[in-house]
Amino acid sequence: MRTTLQRLDAVFCALLFVIGMMAGSVARAASTTPASVVQETDLRDDRYVDAKILAHLKPGQDVQIIRSEAGWVLIQVSKKSGWVRANTLSGSGAAAAGAATIEGGRSASGNIVATSGIRGLPHTTRYALIIGAGRSVANDMPALTGVSEDIAAARGMAQAMAVPASNIFVLQEQDAGKEGIAHAISGLSAKLHAGDRVFVYFSGYGTQVHQPGAGSCSAALVANDAQAIRTEEWLEWFKPVAAKADKLMVFFDAGQHSPAAAVSWPRLQSKFLPASDGCAATTPDFFTQAVQAGAVPGNLVQITAASGDEAAFSDPLHGSPSTQAWRDCMMGEAQDLDNSGAISIHELAVCAQQKLNRWPGAAVVTVAQAAAVTSDEEVVPAGPVTTLTPAIVAHLQVAGNAALVPGWSTPASAPAGNHGKDGKLTVTAARAALDDILAQRDSRRTVTVTAPASVQIDKDLLQFSVTSSQDGYLYIVLLGSDGESFYLLFPNDLDQGNQIKAGQRFDLPHKSWSITAQGPAGTDKMLVLVTDSPRPLAKLGDSRTGPFLMTLSDGEGRANLQWLLSTSLQQANGQCNGNTLDKRCSDAFGASLVEIVEK
């Protein structure tokens, strides 16, 4: 087995499996077949681009094909035998060699269609509820004038999450009283179908109140009618939403604690109202209580503007620094740190925190200093000393599924520090793409894959089965041992019947095709999805190796694969509207990732 460092040429590909077009085994030629060279190439002593060169071949030379492996062909020419790439030959033997192999993405040529232009299309299955409670209709609390800026920023977040304008609901002024908020959440729940996604944003005051009939206190948010909404009440209101939604993401930009000291930046307003009775919150936060009540952590994300012992602030001119930072990162400033092709909640949090750490508000602090003598007997005169200190210290807090990909804005490139000395990514980008897709699954659904832990190269047929807890459509993506080549293993050109029934075992491959392990040695990764609706995989293009659709392994290819597997065919084609009640427009899916060692 050759190491990664030995694979020096960019067009080298690692073969995963050789495909037999009929059930049974991969056919090997018993005798040679004729072919001719169609482009200049080197005859090598092994099927690697850095193998020893035996001869240089020119177009028009006649050769005899002995056998083919991994997109390479063993040929005989002028009493020499060696290996060339299948795409350098023509003739029936060369065509058969190319059709019977799966090759890596780096060797591929084909018409790959970039989907970056459609990834931002709104999804009718996504909703947003934006609550701005910065002005008390009863005039019982000072106005947070920056909340209007936060509402605008939250709209931008929702749009970046592909929420249609018609599905964005905003509560402010008198509509953002406690009763109005409860009514809006109930109305939102009534609109939802199973598998929809929901984003909820709140900007306003936080406080702490006594729990009725209990000796403890609870964190609370303050509505525009000056009524506190305890965490337990939020949880009760959102139970029906969480039961339906594929993903629920909540962003609370409110204070949980009083500032430790006076605010040093003149414009900043604290977003915390201290309790008059000195109550201090002791109950768990929304996410913790939701999980304790049965919510699935993988389907829930909670973002808070500051940690529990820090203050949250509002700038009357620009709104909350935490909200503005998150909005900017969602609109394209975040970096794709793992080169997966998508921006996760974790990567957004890293970006937003970096922006908060550089926030321009700085306090000018003047301290009186007495005369002193330093160790080298230099006299430091008495007088004022001016220093700059941060105006705020806030650390965004994320709980829940930090790998969730909330939207599909074009990410900034990853920093150069993510590459090792050999130029390779320190984290395999292709594997990161599969991990991102897996993180988007509905964790309440189960997809069970029964497959061998290992297979013998040139010997074992790969056979496996899939069982799903839901009816749906089965898709299988294969990532080879080189870590960079993707194939849509199923459905394929030979087998399109990918509908699966709940609880029924689905055995693969079917009789029309088979798979034999063909090396090189290493670990193959197989992502198995059961989706509510068909996926628009034709938009990946028409690049194929044999019957299998193949995707590019560059950043655009990884982004395309993620978006297409996470998007229903009808959503991608703009054929959904708010009246669609069946699963044809659902993006939801269950998934499982398995590893198979070739040895």
CA–CA distance, 269 with 94 (Å, rounded to integer)? 73
Tokens of 244: 């339906």
pLDDT > 70 fraction of the chain, expressed in percent and rounded: 73
pLDDT value, residue 8: 24
Confidence of residue 222 (pLDDT cuts 50, 70, 90): very high
Query: What's the pLDDT tens digit per position in 352-371?
Result: 998 888 776 534 333 344 43
Which contiguous run of DSSP H or E holds residue 75?
strand 72-77
Every domain range in the chain assigned CATH 3.40.50.1460: 126-333+394-400
Q: Is the pLDDT of residue 144 over 60?
A: yes
CB contact burial 60-99 (16+ within 10 A = b; e otherwise): ebebebbbbbbbbbbbebeeeebbbbbbbbebebbebbbe
Contact residues for 74 (Cβ-Cβ < 8 A; gap 6+): 47, 65, 66, 67, 68, 81, 82, 83
User: Which of 119-128, 144-153, 246-255, 487-496 shows the lowest mean pLDDT across its residues?
Assistant: 119-128
Three-state SS at 356: helix
Confidence of residue 110 (pLDDT cuts 50, 70, 90): very low
More confident of the two residues 114 and 455: 455
Query: Domain 126-333+394-400: which topology?
Result: Rossmann fold (3.40.50)
Higher-pLDDT residue of 311 and 37 is: 37
pLDDT digits (tens, 9 = 90+) for 172-211: 988 999 999 999 999 999 999 989 999 999 999 998 888 7
Enter the CATH code of domain 4-13+32-107. 2.30.30.40
Q: Are strands 454-455 and 589-598 parallel, antiparallel or unpaired?
A: parallel
Report CA-CA distances (Å) from 221 to 99, 234, 310, 377, 429: 63, 9, 16, 57, 41
Would you say how long the chain is, in residues?
Answer: 599
Point out which residues pair with 111 in neighbouring strands.
Answer: none
CA 110 to CA 95: how far, in whole Å? 16
The answer to whether 365 and 414 have CB atoms below 8 angstroms apart is no
Whether the bond into 509 is cis, omega within 30 of 0? yes
Of 387 and 541, the structure prediction assigns the larger pLDDT to 541
Give whichever of 67-71, 158-162, 515-519 has the largest mean pLDDT. Answer: 158-162
What secondary structure letter does DSSP report for 382?
P
Q: What is the pLDDT of residue 13?
A: 32
